Structure 1
Amino acid sequence: MGRKPRQQKSARTGHSGPAKAASGGELRIIGGDWRSRKLRFPETGGVRPTPARTRETLFNWLNYQLAGSRCLDLFAGSGALGLEALSRGAGTTVFVDHTPALAQALRGNLRLLKSEKGDVVCQSVDTYLAQPPAEPFDILFMDPPFRQGWLENLFPLIAGYGWVRPGGWIYVEHESERTTPETPENWTLHRQKSAGQVTYCLFKTEESEGT
């Protein structure tokens, strides 16, 4: 979007890496207003953008959900998922990553794209989620470091503090060698696929009564 030491890395290390250059990695947006735009990012921590084919599948799943949506991109890294969402019509995206160099690059890329719809938070994801949001999000993207137990720790925070609105969507990536961790009871698995070492899942939260 496996890992080594128990240390949060903003990197996504399980997919094939992006094209490399001396100055860092490269991300290509594949759809929407910024289609084919190429963006640079530092390769600190082994950052691994979710591959183009996986992104295409995900955003086909979310095709009718994106327009005007509020998105949250956790462990944002290069910002591949959140930027793709903005390109395809999302209203806003909050990017959360604890690595200063990646947060700085994300802010620079948003300026390069002349977008004021992105907000970058340089903070650890567990700290960020340990309180209720000002307003729940419509779509949450989460591709954490592999083999560190992040999903088991973060699922309860996301559900318990109401980070995703009823009827909203949660996208998760994890290593294919394991089963998807138990999810909160009000999440329903909508779609799931595996590609190489990565399994990716899209969950929907239950609608509130009367909606």
Structure 2
Amino acid sequence: MKRQVKQKSPATGAIRIIAGQWRGRKLPVLDVEGLRPTTDRTKETVFNWLTPYLAETNCLDAFAGAGSLGFEALSRYASHCTFVELDKQAAKQILANRDLLKLSAQAADVRQGSLFQQHLPEASYDVVFVDPPFNRGLAQQAIDWLSQSGCLKPDALVYVECELTAMPLNLPGGWQLLKQKQTQQFSYQLYQTGDRDA
């Protein structure tokens, strides 16, 4: 009698969508080095901050990882999210999860590669999530790149997550801090790229 060899699933965990049209839905996540999906508690706080602004927005999940922030935004009726993820397998899993949610490529554009090599449409994003791997200085590089790339709409909102040991961010001109919080492991902030009173 032949032994059946079970195929090991590449997905080793799950993220949970916490509100919106896919509330409670779990999506598979790969065990990839450096992948650190945003916790439910942090996600709840961040999206409480964003709720008044999120509907019908164009979002960019700049270091998408598992796509947790981008899928949460789409669940809460953002009209579009561009997912950028360097790791090939993680990007494939985001594509698979897009299919699970029956999202079109127009609603969820998945790009495998570095944020810093992307050619993004000018003045296209209302909300950006910057949650990079820690201890590499990527948060500062990302906000510098975003401010120079021209891809942000006026008064765009930018969420940034950093390790507690990170140097304070050097903000581009006109950016202002709207909200901030920290846990025992990391800090997170919400910035606006323009002056509300301008």
TM-score (norm 2): 0.89
Q: CA RMSD in A?
A: 1.8
CA contact (8 A) 1:140 1:169 kept: yes
C-alpha separation between the residues in 2 aligned to 1:63 and 1:41? 25
Distance apart, 1:34 and its partner CA: 0.5
> 1:86 is matched with which residue?
74
Corresponding position of 1:192: 180
1:59 matched to which residue of 2? 47
Q: CA deviation at 1:136?
A: 2.3
8 Å Cα contact 2:137-2:166 kept in structure 1 = no
Determine which of 105, 109, 117 is the counterpart of 1:127: 117
| Separation of aligned partners in 2, 1:209 and 1:59 | 24
Pairing 1:1-211 to 2, within 5 Å after superposition: 23-116=11-104, 117-128=107-118, 131=119, 133-207=121-195
1:163, distance to aligned residue in structure 2 (A):
2.2
Structure with greater contact order relative to length (CA < 8 Å, sep ≥ 6) = 1
Distance in 2 between the 1:23 and 1:152 partners? 31
Give the length in aligned residue pairs: 188
The one-character-per-residue Cα deviations of 1:101-142 (angstroms, maximum 9, x if unpaired) are 1111111111111112111000112212xx563442000001
Aligned residue type for 1:118: A
Output the CA distance in 2 between the equivalents of 1:23 and 1:78: 11
Q: 1:175-209, CA deviations, whole angstroms, 9 ceiling, x for partnerless residues?
A: 11234311101110000000121100000111599
Relative distance call for 1:186 and 1:86 in structure 2 (3 A) is: same
Residue aligned with 2:47, SS: helix
Q: After alignment, is 131-140 or 53-62 more displaced?
A: 131-140
Q: Quick one: distance in 2 between partners of 1:46 and 1:161?
A: 26
Paired with 1:23 and 1:68, the residues of 2 have a C-alpha distance of 31
In 2, Cα distance between equivalents of 1:108 and 1:147: 29
Q: Does structure 1 retain, via aligned residues, the 8 Å contact 2:159–2:188? A: yes
Runs of 4 or more off by more than 6 Å in structure 1?
Answer: none
Distance 2:50 2:121 in 1: 23
Distance 1:176 1:198 in 2: 5
Any unmatched runs of 5+ in structure 2? 1-8
| Counterpart-to-counterpart distance in 2, 1:178 and 1:61 | 23
- Unaligned runs of at least 5 residues, structure 1: 1-20
Structure with the greater alpha carbon radius of gyration: 2
Which stretch shows the higher mean deviation, 163-172 or 89-98?
163-172
Residues 159 and 33 of structure 1: is their aligned pair in 2 closer, same or farther, counting only changes over 3 Å? same
Q: Which residue type is aligned with residue 165 of structure 1?
A: K
Q: Is the Cα contact below 8 Å between 2:122 and 2:152 reproduced in 1?
A: no
